[in-house]
């Protein structure tokens, strides 16, 4: 049998916080319990936000937690050509189109309409029906644009219901029916960034041989998009587990952008790796081992 492969994939746009620590420790613990491999992937596809200094601090925090990983570290920015090849494959099938709408225009056009699972206005398809000549003219005029997936056309190519295998917190597995249509015509790339999170993570998981994707519940619904892309690109489907989130005092998910207390701050205040495990309820090895065995 192929050894299970787990991964932790932070973006180098800020310091790690307790939510990251939970995901990293859980992935490493599950990989160790399963006799599998544990990888670290730096998701640095956004050059405007990714900083090498943050990457060094991320790796230092992981080492401080007692986490080891396979070397070398995978950098998404070094595999843009693979993301572009996947995008080209979708484009050749007529599944990608340029969209020139600004966010303000989308909000205005979609006002009062449906929203995607993240609560953003669902793109109304304004540019989907532009002629090839009009698209070419606007690109030549150097108008900003993104590349969107034609969701209806993509779904029409499926010959069976789209599902994924989900491992719940109690270790039981179930089949979840994917609903990528809930996201509308998602963005797959931008003019200045030739891939999106959805495309890059799908391609990279396959390229790295990831068999188990263990990540926060905030990405549960995004799995529908990833499963669709896997089907369209002929990529294998991992097993998924969406773990609990660490919330702040207001009940919101910890976030870098909201100034969540970082691991480096906790370290500076005298916290130990054992303290972090206790804060995350990962301090009981036997109980964690039972959970790990049940989830595989």
Q: Give CA–CA dist 239/246, Å, rounded.
A: 22
Instruction: Kindly state the average pLDDT of the residues 3-29.
Output: 96
Q: From 214, 230, 193, select the one nearest 295 (Cα to Cα).
A: 214
pLDDT of residue 209: 98
Confidence check: pLDDT of 104 > 70: yes
pLDDT of residue 292: 41
- What pLDDT, on a 0 to 100 scale, did the predictor assign at position 95? 98
- Name the nearest CA neighbour of 9 among 245, 219, 264: 219
pLDDT given at position 225:
98
Tell me how far apart the alpha carbons of residues 91 and 129 are, in angstroms, rounded to a whole number. 15
Fill in the DSSP letter of residue 185.
S
Which position has the higher pLDDT, 28 or 170?
Answer: 28
Task: Please tell me the predicted confidence (pLDDT) of residue 252.
Answer: 72
pLDDT of residue 169: 86
Distances (CA, A) of 23 to 57, 144, 217, 244: 17, 36, 11, 9
Residue 2 backbone dihedrals phi, psi, to 5 degrees: -70, 135
Averaged pLDDT score across all residues of the chain? 91
User: 146 is written with which tokens?
Assistant: 């993104």
Residue 190 CA to its chain's centroid (Å): 17
Domains, the chain, with CATH or none: 5-294 (3.40.50.620)
pLDDT at 285 over 50: no
Of 29-33, 130-134, 283-287, the one with minimum mean pLDDT is 283-287
R_g of the chain, CA atoms, integer Å: 20
Per-residue pLDDT reduced to its tens digit, 26-71: 999 999 999 999 999 999 998 777 777 899 999 999 999 999 999 9
- Structure-model confidence comparison of residues 102 and 169, the more confident one: 102
Give the pLDDT band (50/70/90) at residue 249.
Answer: confident
Find where tokens 């054992």 sit. 274
pLDDT recorded at residue 250: 67
What pLDDT is attached to residue 148? 98
Nearest Cα to Cα of residue 81 among 195, 185, 169, 4: 195
Percent of the residues in the chain that have a pLDDT greater than 90, as a whole number: 82
pTM recorded for the entire structure? 0.91
Q: What is the pLDDT of residue 2?
A: 85
pLDDT at 259: 62
Lowest mean pLDDT among 92-96, 169-173, 222-226: 169-173
Is residue 132 within 8 A of residue 138, CB to CB? The reply is no
């Amino acid at each position: 049998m192929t050894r299970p492969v787990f991964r932790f994939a932070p973006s180098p746009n800020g310091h790690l916080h307790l939510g990251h620590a939970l995901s990293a420790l859980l992935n490493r613990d599950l990989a160790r319990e399963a006799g599998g491999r544990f990888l670290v992937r730096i998701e640095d596809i956004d050059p405007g936000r990714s900083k090498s200094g943050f990457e060094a601090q991320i790796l230092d925090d992981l080492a401080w937690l007692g986490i080891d990983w396979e070397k070398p570290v995978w950098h998404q920015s070094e595999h843009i050509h693979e993301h572009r090849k996947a995008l080209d494959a979708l484009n050749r099938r007529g599944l990608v189109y340029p969209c020139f709408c600004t966010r303000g225009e989308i909000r205005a056009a979609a006002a009062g309409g449906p929203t995607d699972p993240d609560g953003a206005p669902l793109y109304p398809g304004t540019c989907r029906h532009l002629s090839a000549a009009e698209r070419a003219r606007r690109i030549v005029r150097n108008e900003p644009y993104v590349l969107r997936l034609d969701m209806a056309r993509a779904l029409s190519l499926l010959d069976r219901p789209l599902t994924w295998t989900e491992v719940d917190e109690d270790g039981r597995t179930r089949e979840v029916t994917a609903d990528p249509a809930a996201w509308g015509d998602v963005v797959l790339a931008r003019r200045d960034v030739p891939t999106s999170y959805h495309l890059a993570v799908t391609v990279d998981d396959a390229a790295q041989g990831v068999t188990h994707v263990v990540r926060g519940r905030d990405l549960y619904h995004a799995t529908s998009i990833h499963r669709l892309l896997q089907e369209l690109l002929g990529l294998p489907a991992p097993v998924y587990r969406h773990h609990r989130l660490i919330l702040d005092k207001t009940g919101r998910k910890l976030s870098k952008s909201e100034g969540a207390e970082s691991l480096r701050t906790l370290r500076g205040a005298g916290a130990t790796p054992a303290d972090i495990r206790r804060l995350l309820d990962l301090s009981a090895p036997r109980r964690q081992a039972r959970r790990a065995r049940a989830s595989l």
